[in-house]
Structure 1
Amino acid sequence: MNGRRRGALTGPVLVLATLVASIISSFGAPLIPTVARDFHASLSTAQWSLTVALLVGAVSSPVLGRLGDGPRRRATLLGGLAVVTVGGVVAALADGLGALVVGRGLQGVGLGLAPLAMATAREELPRARVAPMIALLSVSSAAGLGAGYPVSGWIAQAWGLSGAYWFGAAVSGLALVLVAVVVPSGAGRGGTGRLDLAGTLLLALALVATLVAVAEGTEWGWGSSVVIGLLATGLVLLAAWAVQQLRAANPLVQLRLLRHPSVLSGDACALVLGTAMYMVLSAVTEFVQSPRSGGFGFSASPVVAGLVLVPLSLLMLGSSRALPVLVARLGARTVLALGCLVAALGGGFFAVFHGALWQAFVMTGVLGVGLGTTFAAIPGLIVRAVPAGETGSAMGFYQVVRFTGFSLGSALTATVLAAHVSGGGPTAGGYTEVLWISAGICAVAAAVAWFLPARSARPPRQEAGAEVRGTVAPGPQGMPRQVPGPSRRSRRPGCGGGR
């Protein structure tokens, strides 16, 4: 394939790979009742088919991001897609819940591919395409989570549980082939891609302890010694990891970048919005499936419940394309705050109006506009503030924060609904409370975006001799723009990205 055609296809292939990996990783949610039935397990036990994917995704994001900052970026991207493909095969052939959880864990690696794709886009695409492509990749990784609900529900209804996982293996295999053909090798380019093994282990243990406690808090009891012990262990390990990262010569994540207002506000908003997003996803899919005989709900099938989230995914992708115009007119901080408020409006709308199924579609559409704008804006703010050689690492940490928010949102929804039970199931008041809480959380995110200004301080200094092509510098109204620099031929091995 000639260089011009390869360059034109690189962006679409990266989006496809990110979207496919995200869709496959979200296959657990709508299939949980089927998993419980087929493997004779409780719903809480079957929930691990989703939880394990989120756990692995949270750990793999910074690892793949750091590896992607070096010369092995293409090999890491291919390896990640290969693991996702193998995971689909293992899940499809599983004869027990344990094997299924292993397969789902392998598929969860796909959630860590987004920062890797962003780093690749920053390096390989023309200057004018980098900022919008990074925004699109960020939104694709989130939109895929919503798209996975209807896709997996429809396939499972038509072909059974194993059919859904065989489909996942096939499409991830296709993405693997396309990446192998289109994405160029990074061999000989700057960066070592050296992995901080101690930091990886500490972060993995901290996230596993914390997220397992969050995921099982409702089932085991939030006041139980096991949950409290896991939370305490997670916090201690997280503190130890932070100290180790600040002292390491080649840390997994450059935590000092959090001193930059753009990075701090972006990660803070990602945590809060991720929590709100999963609260709504969990609540609305359960609400529409609730039997009408209970006085609320629409007795919808899992497929219909999944279709309710289609407007979320479509409008997240669509609204992200309007980001450059909005930022040019309003400024990045205003756009981020307004996006959070639009997301709050969506949750508040369905909390008040939930008597007809079409209102659920409207709610997810409004939510998609708000989240599409915010999730597209945040990566640009972060990328603009960090050196080019730290793009994968910074985006990996951003993904960790966002997945932590997803897990917190899922757990918070379960806790609220468990407190409002009547006749063996949650009440309408429980779902309404979840929606109001999610709307309030989005309002908090708007305040964070506004009062913690996402303004660039002095850009990080570029190391002597570093190449600057493809780096992102502050543009008009805080919008990322590319800094011109030497051509690819003038690159020198070992040069790091800078500003």
Structure 2
Amino acid sequence: MSTTREHSEARLLVPSLMFIALVVAAVASLGTPLITSVATTFHVSLDSAQWTLTISLLSGAVATPVLGRLGAGPHRRATILATLAVVVAGSALTVLPLPFAWLLVGRAAQGVGLGLTALMMGVARDHLPEGRSADTIALISVVSIIGAGVGYPLAGLLTEFGGVRAAYGLGLFVTAIAFLAAWRSMPVAPKGRSAHVDVAGALVLAGGLFLVLFLASETSLWSRHLAVAVVLAIVAVLLLCVWTASELRSKAPLVDVRAVRHPAVAGANLAMFVGGIGMYLLLTLITRYAQTPHSAGYGFGLTTFVAGLVLVPFSVLGFVAGKLTPRVRMRIDAPLLLAGSAVVVGGGFVLFAAARSNLAELFVAMGVLGFGVGSFSAAMPGVILAVTPKSETSSAMSFNYVVRSVGYSLGSAMGGLVLAAGTDTGRLFPRDGAYTTAALVGIAAMAITTMASLALARQRSPETNPTAAPTGAPSQGRSKSMTGSPEGRPEQERKEADK
């Protein structure tokens, strides 16, 4: 009986990992297409409604390193189930007829689920065969990105027919299914694991990240109260510096900062940060341009639902790239794939800057963006996990996702600032040329990402076997795959190293 159940759980594991990563990403991103509807339904300003997105990004950024550390310990299954229970409860709050403040509480609870993506990677690396775990980790990384493209059109359609509560009801439905899938398929962590959460460090990190995301979302603060914004930015930097210093001294850090300083990990996080700014900037520009009414002299005046359909090429080609990348990874080193992917995203910026006179051109630009983001996301874990032991998979990837969240927030804010600067006094919409200026900023960001990835490819030391080497240890040989083991290494040696 137990053997039959174990086979059933193993068969359900990969679909469950993919589904959970997709659901938490899609649900957390529901705030974007619903901002206008939330403002109308709850009679609040657009700035206030914007917090339905910001607060989920904030709670996700704070929860990710904490969950990553808990996921490295013996109670990973319980951590996953408890987190999904919080997400389900938050989803229920967004559906119930409660005041706006409770909607924000629910959105914050939904955002906590973003921290599960790194845990899904840890489960895959621990419980799947080496080759299959590499492919699965790559796809988990991809679906965590394209989840937004899946949720947008569905949320828009439900909003048009049933209102904002119906759209959030979709989140409640899929998160409940995700919880059941996790309950049925998630295995316990391997024996011998331990984890300690640095509560004080988590609070300092939360304060620093809150200020960073607050300053990124409240773009008007920079134009109306520059001195206040500068002071808050300085406080944010100081908090993050204090957190880094305390993590270096801690015997049980929330994030192993020493491992983060490894050239491969540091280079990958830098590429993720700058690349994230560019990727989310283009996603924001295309979506906003498509919804701009014709009265502005450009744009297509699309409804929320139709604008969501513009993201379909992003999701489809992103998934295709995610499926192809692990195969290409066998022939091309991961940093070179990052560089190539950054070039593809830069090509999407060029297309948008040069050709956006009809809707088909926006679809093409979005498809190019999706392919570049998909391959970039699939290649990223290969750089980090090649020098990371199995026990630290969740923690190492969680830090990378915090960096990604901050980059995405800054990309969105940067787009808002450039477009605001290009808006004439007394006008609601920016000049068409402001979109071209923003696209040039994105091209510069992707050029920096490309150069950082190429530098990483040149300077990167040979990869070590992550199942045997300590975090950040010097490399001993080139790994064959992204979870890697040196070619020709006897199977018995690998099993002993895993033990």
Same topology, TM > 0.5: yes
Structure 1: how far apart are the matches of 2:265 and 2:86? Answer: 30
Counterpart for residue 42 of structure 1: 45
Counterpart for residue 57 of structure 2: 54
Partner SS, residue 264 of structure 1: helix
Structure 2: how far apart are the matches of 1:78 and 1:156? Answer: 29
The answer to whether structure 1 residue 99 and structure 2 residue 107 are counterparts is no
Amino acid at match of 2:241: A
Q: In 2 relative to 1, CA 413–94 (structure 1 residues): closer, same or farther, beyond 3 Å?
A: farther
Counterpart of 1:150 (choices 135, 146, 153) is: 153
**What is the CA-CA distance between 1:147 and the residue it aligns to?**
2.2
Counterpart for residue 270 of structure 2: 268
Counterpart of 1:342 (choices 337, 341, 344) is: 344
**What is the CA-CA distance between 1:222 and the residue it aligns to?**
6.7
What is the TM-score normalised by the length of structure 1? 0.92
**What is the CA-CA distance between 1:482 and the residue it aligns to?**
4.8
4+ residue runs of structure 1 moved beyond 3 angstroms? 456-464, 482-488
Counterpart for residue 209 of structure 1: 211
**What is the CA-CA distance between 1:329 and the residue it aligns to?**
3.0
The 5-angstrom pairing of residues 18-29 of structure 1 reads 18-29=21-32
Partner SS, residue 121 of structure 1: helix
1:223-275 C-alpha deviation (Å, 9 max, x unpaired): 53332222111100000000000010110111111332221121111111211
**What is the CA-CA distance between 1:36 and the residue it aligns to?**
0.7
Counterpart for residue 231 of structure 2: 229
Counterpart for residue 138 of structure 1: 141
Amino acid at match of 2:106: G
Partner SS, residue 439 of structure 2: helix
Q: In 2 relative to 1, CA 280–99 (structure 1 residues): closer, same or farther, beyond 3 Å?
A: same
Structure 2: how far apart are the matches of 1:462 and 1:277? Answer: 32
**What is the CA-CA distance between 1:439 and the residue it aligns to?**
2.1
Counterpart of 2:128 (choices 125, 130, 154) is: 125
**What is the CA-CA distance between 1:173 and the residue it aligns to?**
0.6
Counterpart of 1:252 (choices 245, 251, 254) is: 254
Native 8 Å contact 2:326 2:379 kept in 1: no
Counterpart of 2:16 (choices 13, 23, 26) is: 13
The answer to whether structure 1 residue 418 and structure 2 residue 442 are counterparts is no
Counterpart for residue 303 of structure 1: 305
**What is the CA-CA distance between 1:193 and the residue it aligns to?**
2.1
The count of residues paired between Structure 1 and Structure 2 equals: 485
Q: In 2 relative to 1, CA 92–455 (structure 1 residues): closer, same or farther, beyond 3 Å?
A: same
Native 8 Å contact 1:473 1:480 kept in 2: no
Gaps of 5+ in 2: 471-475
Structure 2: how far apart are the matches of 1:254 and 1:318? Answer: 33
Amino acid at match of 1:436: L
What is the TM-score normalised by the length of structure 2? 0.92
Residues 478-487 or 149-158, more deviating: 478-487
The 5-angstrom pairing of residues 166-245 of structure 1 reads 166-186=169-189, 189-219=191-221, 221=223, 223-245=225-247
Structure 1: how far apart are the matches of 2:363 and 2:498? Answer: 44
**What is the CA-CA distance between 1:159 and the residue it aligns to?**
1.7
**What is the CA-CA distance between 1:11 and the residue it aligns to?**
1.0
Q: In 2 relative to 1, CA 460–135 (structure 1 residues): closer, same or farther, beyond 3 Å?
A: closer
Counterpart for residue 442 of structure 1: 446
Partner SS, residue 251 of structure 2: coil
1:171-229 C-alpha deviation (Å, 9 max, x unpaired): 1010100110111222x622212211111111111101221122113245375333222
Partner SS, residue 484 of structure 2: strand
**What is the CA-CA distance between 1:281 and the residue it aligns to?**
1.7
Residues 220-229 or 108-117, more deviating: 220-229
Q: Percent identity of the aligned residues?
A: 39
Q: In 2 relative to 1, CA 233–157 (structure 1 residues): closer, same or farther, beyond 3 Å?
A: same
Structure 2: how far apart are the matches of 1:102 and 1:283? Answer: 28
The answer to whether structure 1 residue 452 and structure 2 residue 456 are counterparts is yes
Gaps of 5+ in 1: 467-471
Counterpart for residue 370 of structure 2: 368
Structure 2: how far apart are the matches of 1:487 and 1:172? Answer: 41
**What is the CA-CA distance between 1:166 and the residue it aligns to?**
1.6
**What is the CA-CA distance between 1:455 and the residue it aligns to?**
2.7
**What is the CA-CA distance between 1:452 and the residue it aligns to?**
2.6
Q: In 2 relative to 1, CA 497–271 (structure 1 residues): closer, same or farther, beyond 3 Å?
A: farther
Counterpart of 1:164 (choices 148, 159, 167) is: 167
Q: In 2 relative to 1, CA 95–134 (structure 1 residues): closer, same or farther, beyond 3 Å?
A: same
Partner SS, residue 126 of structure 2: helix
1:84-115 C-alpha deviation (Å, 9 max, x unpaired): 11111111115322111111000001111100
Native 8 Å contact 1:128 1:482 kept in 2: no
1:267-301 C-alpha deviation (Å, 9 max, x unpaired): 11111121112211211111111111222101111
Structure 1: how far apart are the matches of 2:100 and 2:477? Answer: 49
Amino acid at match of 1:439: I
Amino acid at match of 2:338: L
Partner SS, residue 188 of structure 2: coil
Structure 2: how far apart are the matches of 1:406 and 1:479? Answer: 25
**What is the CA-CA distance between 1:497 and the residue it aligns to?**
6.4
1:409-454 C-alpha deviation (Å, 9 max, x unpaired): 1111110111011332112111222222112211210110001337
Structure 2: how far apart are the matches of 1:427 and 1:147? Answer: 30
The answer to whether structure 1 residue 30 and structure 2 residue 49 are counterparts is no
Q: In 2 relative to 1, CA 473–165 (structure 1 residues): closer, same or farther, beyond 3 Å?
A: farther
Q: In 2 relative to 1, CA 3–487 (structure 1 residues): closer, same or farther, beyond 3 Å?
A: farther
Counterpart for residue 473 of structure 2: none
Native 8 Å contact 2:281 2:411 kept in 1: yes
Q: In 2 relative to 1, CA 174–360 (structure 1 residues): closer, same or farther, beyond 3 Å?
A: same
Residues 176-185 or 22-31, more deviating: 176-185
Q: In 2 relative to 1, CA 94–50 (structure 1 residues): closer, same or farther, beyond 3 Å?
A: farther
The answer to whether structure 1 residue 112 and structure 2 residue 115 are counterparts is yes
Q: In 2 relative to 1, CA 181–458 (structure 1 residues): closer, same or farther, beyond 3 Å?
A: closer
Structure 2: how far apart are the matches of 1:460 and 1:329? Answer: 18
Native 8 Å contact 1:261 1:457 kept in 2: no
